[in-house]
Amino acid sequence: MTGVSCTDETAKWNRGTTRNIEPKPLVSIQLKKPKLGENMMGNESVPGLRDTPFYVTKEEFKEAINASPMLPLFEIKGTIMNKSFKINPSVRTTESIEQVHGEHNDLSSCAKCVQFLSKYVFLTDSQVKDCRKLRITASSAHKVSVKETTDSTNFKREHLHPKFVGNKYTKHGQQGEIDAKVYLKSNGHQVQEKGICVSQQENWLSASPDGIFDGQTLLEIECSVPFSSWSTLDQLFESGKYDVGKDENGDLVVKEKGSRGIYLQVQLTMYCTGLKQCKLLVWLGVDEHTYIDILYNETYVNNQVTRLKNFYVKKLLPCLVNN
């Protein structure tokens, strides 16, 4: 099928090649010779854009063919028509433009590095929870029974499937930690935030320090909620029920066998971070707080790590594998 070719009429400037040369259907072609001076371009029969259906997407094309009487032709296997009708479109691969490094003032200043951190370093909330489940943590170590013969069912159940989601006391502690850090920074101290620290020596043990104080000191913040029995820190320390008390000289010390396990938590956190000193901040408010310096106790830590590792290998690890 053919129509008027591009040589049969004067080509129009500023008109695309397709519009100049493509024919119209045969029924629309006027075969008579035009008269002298007759304007053929104003006639509807003049060649121009095709009126053949045009499909933007593969779905439109398939829908039209399925409704067409020519569908059986497209269903003949082995033909080009069948292959073009049945084949899935190829996925175009685009080469990504290589990013260059930006400023390195903080973790979020370089877009290229942020992508790397998001993929390999930063953890989602669920990943953080899984990371804690796989290890004994410094904050939960005091719950591990001292005697091997003690039933560990409750610890393992709470460790793998914790039901406690927080209460007014935990919210008080979280807000107190924020307020304490703001106070420290406003007084010229540096507080470096830290995430989960896995021990390099014992990968089954981890800790989540509250921060690093002025570069080389572990910072741990304790925020107690006042009760009817005490309203000041001095009253709390003298009550004998808290992990912090006074020695024979009247100096504040942290008890090794305190009910809250603060001393054990601090020592294991120093073990995981490699730090040798800790500043414990007992916080009640801007006008009511105190600092206690704690040195790393290597002998104590070695004994505790041995005990905890024995528990992990014999009791917790098999439970992790089975679950």
All domains in the chain, ordered by first residue: 6-86 (no CATH), 99-133 (no CATH), 138-322 (3.90.320.10)
Question: Residue 205's pLDDT is what?
Answer: 95
Angle at 204 between CA 201 and CA 206, to 5 degrees: 85
pLDDT one-digit tens code per residue, 257-285: 999 999 999 999 999 999 999 999 999 99
CA 308 to chain centre: 30
Which parts of the chain register pLDDT below 50? Answer: 1-7, 47-49
Question: Residue 7's pLDDT is what?
Answer: 45
The DSSP symbol for 230 reads B
3-class SS string, 152-209: CHHHHHHHHCCCCCCCHHHHHHHHHHHHHHHHHHHCCCCEECCCCEECCCCCCEEECC
3-class SS string, 105-121: CCCCCCHHHHHHHHHHH
Give the residues across from 279 on adjacent strands. 219, 293
Six-digit token pair at 183?
Answer: 């106070």
Cα distance between the two ends of the chain: 73
Question: Residue 278's pLDDT is what?
Answer: 97
Query: In the chain, what is the greatest distance between 2 CA atoms, to the nearest angstrom?
Result: 125
The DSSP symbol for 281 reads E
Query: 224 and 242 in contact (C-beta within 8 Å)?
Result: yes
Six-digit token pair at 118?
Answer: 């998001």
Cα 308 from Cα 137, distance rounded (Å): 10
Question: Residue 64's pLDDT is what?
Answer: 86
How many contiguous H segments (helices) and E segments (strands) does the chain have? 12, 10
Give the residues across from 197 on adjacent strands. 207
Place of tokens 């953080």: 128
Question: Residue 271's pLDDT is what?
Answer: 97
Six-digit token pair at 291?
Answer: 């600092």
- Beta 217-223 vs 197-198: how paired, if at all? unpaired
Question: Residue 255's pLDDT is what?
Answer: 95
Six-digit token pair at 33?
Answer: 């010779």
pTM for the predicted model, two decimal places: 0.62
Question: Residue 93's pLDDT is what?
Answer: 53
